[in-house]
A and B are shown apart, each in its own frame.
Chain A
Amino acid sequence: MTAAPDAVAREVAARLEAAAPLNAVLHWSAGGIEAEARRVAAMPSAGPLHAVPLAVKDNIATLDAPTTCASRILEGYRSPFEATALRRLRAAGAMLVAKTNLDEFAMGSSTEHSAFGRVHHPLDPARVPGGSSGGSAALVAAGVVPAALGSETGGSVRQPAAFCGVVGVKPSYGRVSRYGLVAFGSSLDCISVFGRTVGDAARVLATMSGHDPLDATTLAEPPLAVPETPTSLAGMTVGLPTEYFPADLDPGVRAGVDRVAAALRELGATVTEVSLPHSRYAVPTYYIVAPAEASANLARYDGVRYGPPRPEHEADLRALYRATRGRGFGPEVRRRILVGTYVLSAGYYEAYYGTAQRMRARIAGDFRAAFERVDLLLTPTAPTTAFRAGEKTEDPVAMYLADVFVCPASLAGLPALSLPAGRSEGLPVGAQLIAPAGQDTRMLAVAAALEERVVAAGEVR
């Protein structure tokens, strides 16, 4: 998009208007977009993302629009500071155009757990866009913006990218600053990006990456590079982990991944089977580690320093806490805080949290061992295509299993992406690439090479 900022502003505003039925956006205003356009137009020189309209998940701190995390407890909250990643993107000329809907505090896999209503799948309103970054995924899929920020804790960008048929990239942990990303599971959280193309996503990722003195978990490394698209993958070995292709895998999903494997071979890569035996424990490990961290991360929402207006009748501090948090958090957030509190509590810590930490090390160890043999891993992103709204809301564990293939790379802190791999019965299928830590650019290069061959593939089954 190389149009003038004001023209981009008008066009994006019109598209946002048209996309309103998706309920993908929590905050936007024509005035806000125009102000961004004026800011970008006034920049002394055009940055690498000049006038690129960007939608941002509403758990990333922005200065002018609210930052609510789709939670009643932060309704109306305006952050007095801006996330480092977003600051860098805006300094490069990107225009913040909308704050997108999400599962409350990024806890969910369908964007049904938003306090402000569920997000609809752009191709079938009865289906979910995936989650938790469902709003950002739907906006990119609907063609409203070329790229959008989401966040990952256990696959919350890759899984909705697969459901919506867009590119979703999670960087290596520590390559993008978390400063200003509202914390859920701090050892897992990564600001991540959706793009209509690998190139769009890669440019956004490169711009926002790099060490941040405000985040002690960022690596002292320079920003990521935007990859060149290779014409051949000769000499590269790609592993298919057998555990990620169970017998009951959705046939359409399998066909899509098979097509990507075929494209890899066509490009000269060697494709071989590998084993990641502990990945089967990733979801239970994740559902101990993430809630444990969340139980502490969400303790700050106590109604003392910020938060919704106070219930008048609470004359006792403890009653105020309990009412603020009891009413302010939705059911899934409450469940996770309670599970996290339980697994850290006296007498249970070792059995749950201690065990999960050791399992996490084994899951990461499997990847390290596999990457001694192969350069990249290829798996399905999700076990199914987009499911129907309401299908998994009654059983939290069924919902958690939607992340079974994305969660392991999150636990291991690895870069991973979901690439559109055609459609099954009209719904997008995603194929996942996972790379060794720090190999983000190489992974993106392979995805760029594959993109032309598989994205426009159409029906795979």
Chain B
Amino acid sequence: MTWETVIGLEVHVQLATASKMFCGCAAVFGEEPNTNVCPVCLGLPGALPVPNAEAVRLGTVAALALECTVHPASVFARKNYFYPDLPKGYQISQYDRPLATGGRLAVESPDRGPITVGITRLHLEEDAGKSLHDRFPGLTAVDLNRAGVPLAEIVSEPDLRSPAEARAYLGAIKQLLVFAGVSDCSMEKGHLRVDANVSVRRAGEAAFGTKTEVKNVNSFANVERALEAERDRQIAVLEGGGRVEQVSLLFNAASGEVRPMRAKEESHDYRYFPDPDLPPLVLEPGWVAAQRDALPELPDAKRARLMAEHGLSGYDAQVVTAEPALADYYEAVVTAGAEPKLAANWVMSEVLADQNAAGALRVAPARLAALIGLVQEGTVSLQAAKKIFAEVAVSDGDPAETARRLGLVQVRDAGALERWVDEVLAAHPEEVARYRAGETKLLGFLVGQVMKRSQGQADPKGVQPVLRRKLG
């Protein structure tokens, strides 16, 4: 029996604003608990929410980047439930009239190649605070610093067919949002949280199976693992003749298992209704169009352009556009005069390695372009260039000067080469005799000796003809 997995994802992404969604408190991470709060985000009696214009703009930009229809009017609604870190006893969200609906995202599926995933909706909401269950024995500790931070919830259609595909979708959506400037998408800071809906059905069946929801998974790798575990669990249940129950599950990253959340009593009746504190969110069509026009070049378009204009392979284009900063860097190296393919090779190897080690792009694009030029014109060898790169990363010196200072400039001067060759021939009479007797493969040995004598400075391409002439 073969099974098909059907997955839809709800991604909650923190919008990159300075202040919270409905009050002027800073949207920051890592403060002392309950210090970044005010009457509004504490839910004090009499306090009222006022929406953040930048959060609305970033939500709109995200929706446009996802090719959604942004609605001229949307409505904030109250989602009612009790939880200690939910100060008002309701979350301000959007329900039947969200900011945007009907978008799509291109994803490179590891199983199926390029696919398009439908985006059902994107809406704005406020985050809850944090409940810490392990801080004090028997107690839950509540920190409301995060309460009210602006989020966009992005709901996909159930268009994903494997856990690996779900992971690829998350990578694509993260990349899109970072390029669009909507979110930093820092996983450590919890900027991106995922709920996954998953069901299985027998191959060829049209109807969906009963779905379950894996809640609040905090890394892409864990989303994939959690979905694999839940898929396998559902298949085992069905193959054992059982039925899948519609439940919410939690993933235990340590054990790799999913288990049902102990039911939150009555948790399914959120009693949504329009928030009477907030008139409708009305967006002028002209303003929305201006946001669309101002969208930066998004990853897909950028890759296509680099392939068409720079002649990069699909793989190279993918790697150099992994992050906006890297893509900008690559383009700056090319603009500074480097040949695109060579620039891409450097970015994908030395530059990425140095960035991973040092946490920054340390070699200025113009310096790298100059270094690539030195290799191309034969002034330094590729091996030498890597040493020069490492040095420039620290010193920010000029590559040509660095090459000279480190003695890495290749010597092509005929007099110097002849002197080294003469010395080597004099030092190895036996090999010279054997070469002349027909053992021509000894040429390599002799070239090596010249390189050694020159301490690596001789241009190997210049050494060979001189040797041949002298031996001939």
Contact = CB atoms under 8 A, between A and B. Distances in A.
- A adjacent to B, CB under 8 Å: yes
Interface of A: 60-61, 67, 69, 74, 77, 79-81, 83, 178-183, 185-187, 213-217, 292-293, 295-296, 298-300, 302, 304-306, 315, 317-318, 321, 341, 344-346, 349, 353
Contacts of B47: 81, 179-180
Contacts of B268: 346
Given A186-B276, A344-B271, A345-B269, A296 B39 contact: no
Contacts of A183: 45-46, 48, 277
A180 B46 CA distance: 4
Contact of B43 (A80, A215, A305): A305
Contacts of A187: 276
A187 B42 CA distance: 21
Nearest to A182: B45
A187 to B, nearest CB: 4
Contacts of A185: 276
B342 interface: no
Interface stretch (B77-85, B228-236, B317-325, B359-367): B77-85
B279 A317 contact: no
A315 B265 CA distance: 18
A299 B278 contact: no
Interface stretch (B86-94, B205-213, B249-257, B298-306): B86-94
A81 B80 contact: no
B273 interface: yes
B45 A77 contact: yes
B50 interface: yes
Contact of A296 (B45, B80, B140): B80
A81 B48 CA distance: 12
B49 interface: yes
Main secondary structure of the interface of A (DSSP, over half): loop
B50 A213 contact: yes
Contacts of A81: 39, 44, 46-47
Given A299-B80, A300-B87, A216 B277 contact: yes
Given A186-B277, A300-B88, A345-B271, A79 B45 contact: yes
Most chain A CB atoms below 10 A, which of B51, B87, B277: B277
Contacts of B89: 296, 298-300, 302
Contacts of B87: 300, 304-305
Contacts of A317: 84, 140
Given A186-B276, A186-B277, A216-B50, A299 B44 contact: no
B370 interface: no
Contacts of A79: 44-46
A321 B44 contact: no
Interface string B263-283: 001001101110111110000
A181 B277 CA distance: 12
B82 A302 contact: yes
Most chain A CB atoms below 10 A, which of B46, B50, B84, B275: B46
B278 A321 contact: no
Closest 10 pairs between A and B when the two form their complex, measured CB to CB: A299-B89, A187-B276, A186-B276, A344-B271, A180-B46, A182-B45, A61-B46, A300-B43, A346-B269, A216-B50
A179 B269 contact: no
A302 B84 CA distance: 8
A315 B268 CA distance: 25
A375 B78 CA distance: 37
B352 interface: no
B50 to A, nearest CB: 5
Nearest to B80: A296
B46 A296 contact: no
Nearest to B266: A345
Interface residues of B, number: 34
A347 to B, nearest CB: 9
Nearest to B34: A305
Contact of B44 (A298, A306, A353): A306
Contact of B273 (A180, A217, A299, A353): A353
Contact of B277 (A74, A217, A300, A349): A217
Contacts of B51: 216
Given A81-B44, A81-B46, 16 more contacts: A60-B46, A81-B47, A83-B46, A178-B46, A181-B46, A185-B276, A186-B277, A217-B279, A298-B89, A300-B43, A304-B142, A315-B138, A341-B271, A344-B272, A345-B269, A349-B271
Contacts of A182: 45-46
B88 A299 contact: yes
A83 B44 CA distance: 12
A437 B265 CA distance: 44
Contact of B45 (A61, A215, A318): A61
A74 B276 contact: no
A293 B276 CA distance: 8
Contacts of B272: 344
B253 to A, nearest CB: 26
Most chain B CB atoms below 10 A, which of A305, A315, A349, A353: A305
Contacts of A180: 46-47
A296 B265 contact: no
Contacts of B278: 216-217
Given A187-B276, A345-B269, A321 B43 contact: no
A292 B80 CA distance: 11
B470 to A, nearest CB: 89
Given A181-B46, A216-B49, A80 B39 contact: yes
A214 B50 contact: yes
Interface in B33-89: 39, 42-51, 78, 80, 82, 84, 87-89
26 contacts: A60-B46, A67-B46, A69-B45, A80-B39, A81-B39, A83-B46, A178-B48, A182-B46, A186-B275, A214-B48, A215-B50, A216-B51, A217-B278, A292-B273, A293-B276, A295-B271, A296-B80, A296-B89, A296-B271, A300-B87, A300-B88, A302-B82, A317-B84, A317-B140, A321-B82, A353-B273
Contacts of A293: 273, 276
Contacts of B48: 178-179, 183, 214-217
A5 B250 CA distance: 64
Nearest to B23: A214
